[in-house]
Amino acid sequence: MDEIERFAGEVTANVDRLMADADMQALSRAWLAEVTRRRYTYNFTWLGRPVIQLPQDLLAVQELIWQVRPDLIVETGIAHGGSLVHSASLLELLGGDRLVVGVDVDIRPHNRREIERHPLAHRIQLLEGSSTDAPVAAAVGEHARGRRAVLVILDSDHTHAHVRRELDLYAPLVTRGSYLVVFDTLIEDLPDELFAGRAWGKGNNPKTAVWEFLTTTSRFEIDARIPAKLLLTCAPDGFLRCVGD
Q: What is the full DSSP assignment across 203-238?
A: TBSHHHHHHHHHTS-SSEEE-THHHHHHSS-S-TT-
CA dihedral 196, 169, 172, 181 (to 10 degrees): -20
Cβ atoms of 227 and 239 within 8 Å: the answer is yes
Query: Residue 202: what pLDDT?
Result: 96
* DSSP string of 104-143, one letter each residue: ES---HHHHHHHHTSTTGGGEEEEES-TTSHHHHHHHHHH
Angle of helix 22-37 versus helix 3-20 axis, rounded to 10: 80
Half-sphere exposure of 111 (CA within 13 A, CB side): 19
Query: What own/partner pairs with CB < 8 Å and gap ≥ 24 does 201-204 have?
Result: 203/160, 204/159, 204/160
| 186-217 pLDDT per residue, tens | 999 999 999 999 999 999 999 999 999 999 99
Bridging pattern class, strands 179-182 and 239-242: antiparallel
Q: Where does the pLDDT of residue 71 fall: very low under 50, low under 70, confident under 90, or very high at 90 and above?
A: very high
155 DSSP assignment = -
Cβ atoms of 48 and 18 within 8 Å: the answer is no
Query: What are the chain's domains?
Result: 3-242 (3.40.50.150)
| 123-154 pLDDT per residue, tens | 999 999 999 999 999 999 999 999 999 999 99
Q: Where does the pLDDT of residue 101 fall: very low under 50, low under 70, confident under 90, or very high at 90 and above?
A: very high
Cβ atoms of 205 and 47 within 8 Å: the answer is no
* DSSP string of 42-96, one letter each residue: GG-EETTEE--S-HHHHHHHHHHHHHH--SEEEEE--TTSHHHHHHHHHHHHH-T
Q: How far apart are CA 229 and CA 113, in angstroms?
A: 37
Average pLDDT over the chain, rounded to whole? 97
Q: Computed from CA positions of residues 84, 199, 136, 172, in that sequence, does the dihedral angle turn out positive or negative?
A: positive
Cβ atoms of 88 and 123 within 8 Å: the answer is yes
| 17-69 pLDDT per residue, tens | 999 999 999 999 999 999 999 999 999 999 999 999 999 999 999 999 999 99
> What global pTM score does this model have?
0.97
Query: Residue 106: what pLDDT?
Result: 97
